[in-house]
Amino acid sequence: MMPIQAVIGDVCRLVLLLVILSACSPPLAAAEDPSLIVSRFREYLRINTAQPKPNYREAVDFILAQARSISLEAKSFEIVDGKPFVILKWPGTNPRLPSVMLYSHTDVVPVEQSKWDHPPFEAHVDEEGRIFARGSQDMKCVGMQHLEAVRQLKRSGFEPIRTLYVVFSPDEEIGGHDGAEKFADSEAFREMNVGVVLDEGLASPNEKYRVFYGERVPWWLVIKATGAPGHGAKLYDNTALENLFKSIETIWRFRTSQFDMVKAGLKAEGEVVSVNMVFLKAGTPSPTGFVMNLQPSEAEAGFDIRIPPTADHKSLERRLAEEWAPIWRNMTFEFKQKASVYNQHGEPVITATDSSNPWWALLEEGIRKANGLVGKPEIFPASTDARYFRLLGLPAIGFSPMANTPILLHDHNEYLDQAEYLKGIKVFESIIKTYTSFVGDSSKESLRDEL
């Protein structure tokens, strides 16, 4: 039997060791009340940043206040007057490594208030826990999830190796020309030495998160037809409206052929060319409406065309000139916007999903660590600001953690379930830890020389 003095000595040494280990270990942060986390999200949603007159100033003040509350370096600046960016910085322990950029936009699309069951800027929560608000899916949820994930990681004592930037931008919903397009070409962005960008994705109706490696680019087309004016009772050949409707019929046959492949399951929506007519303009105005006995000499229609980076755009241009708006039928056309499907190296604007891109595997790893499921890589069916960073050759991935959620971006009664919102924060915590802890080979991933 050991002497009692020896036992007491062993116990004292054990207690001392536990005290030392406790002092050297980061404290375990108590979980924050979920209602407070949701409350901050709702506060952001209540700021009316709808185009064409977004309240950017209030949004910026809110974001900067959140940054101060979690001790992030923060700055706000404008490339174009009245259109502010906010850049938040969490410095890494190895600033030489290319940084990670989490990106979101502050503006949202307009609303038709009469079509909503709840006021779109009230952030109403119903009895099922659904948060109704414009921007709840597109994409104020993601911006706040970025911030909340950082907040939780800081509380836990985590330290990133790579520097992390959380960026909020203006004007994405109107094309990003005064926002991301200019930002990607700015000295401020070059100084950030970004190695990878995470931007927005889409909700998933099933349990698998959707992840996007490219997107369809917009070709906004206006076709105009001309013809001789004449009496409303006379039959003419090649009137403006007759020629325009011939074009519309041809375009609609093409649209149907593309849509049929989607409905048959042969291609995903992001893999086909989509064409939708967005306006039709014709007729001679009168004080009571339109002149009814006069055939107009001009008619035009507008089309929103989206081109995947895998499409043969040269073939589509020939189709446009020869079939959709042939000059021999008194037709002309112009593009209001025509984005490129190629980057500065003449390659399709896509982010690699194979072993050449470690960020893709790391994203999947981060999602799985948070008990999430990942679907098949997709091409985003619309356009996001990610395209401006892909044009530089940077890997840019679209991801919004919303599973088991209907796709309601730009729709009436847009909502996100608060439980799904909270789950997405945990997913981003895992992704941030995985991304900012990755060392890799910085010489192979940095684009400093190319930019």
Which residues are part of the catalytic machinery?
Answer: 107, 172
Count other C-beta atoms under 10 Å from residue 442's C-beta.
15
How far apart are alpha carbons 231 and 225 in whole angstroms?
Answer: 18
Burial of 47 (0-12, 13-18, 19+ CB in 10 A): buried
Residues contacting 313, CB < 8 A, separation 6+: 307, 341
CA distances from 447 to 30, 80, 191, 195 (A): 40, 26, 12, 7
Residue 105 marked as a ligand binder:
yes
How far apart are alpha carbons 332 and 232 in whole angstroms?
Answer: 24
In the chain, the amino acid numbered 406 is P
Count other C-beta atoms under 10 Å from residue 72's C-beta.
21
How is residue 359 annotated by DSSP?
H
Residue 410 marked as a ligand binder:
yes
Length reported for the chain: 451
How far apart are alpha carbons 67 and 89 in whole angstroms?
Answer: 9
**Nearest 5°: CA angle at 180, between 177 and 181?**
50
CA distances from 40 to 30, 44, 56, 164 (A): 18, 6, 17, 22
**Nearest 5°: CA angle at 427, between 378 and 407?**
45
Kindly calculate the radius of gyration of the chain based on its CA atoms and give it in whole angstroms.
Answer: 27
Q: Are 236 and 403 in contact (CB under 8 A)?
A: no
Residue 313 marked as a ligand binder:
no
Residue 412 marked as a ligand binder:
no
Residue 127 marked as a ligand binder:
no
What residue numbers does the annotated binding site for Zn(2+) cover? Answer: 105, 138, 173, 200, 410
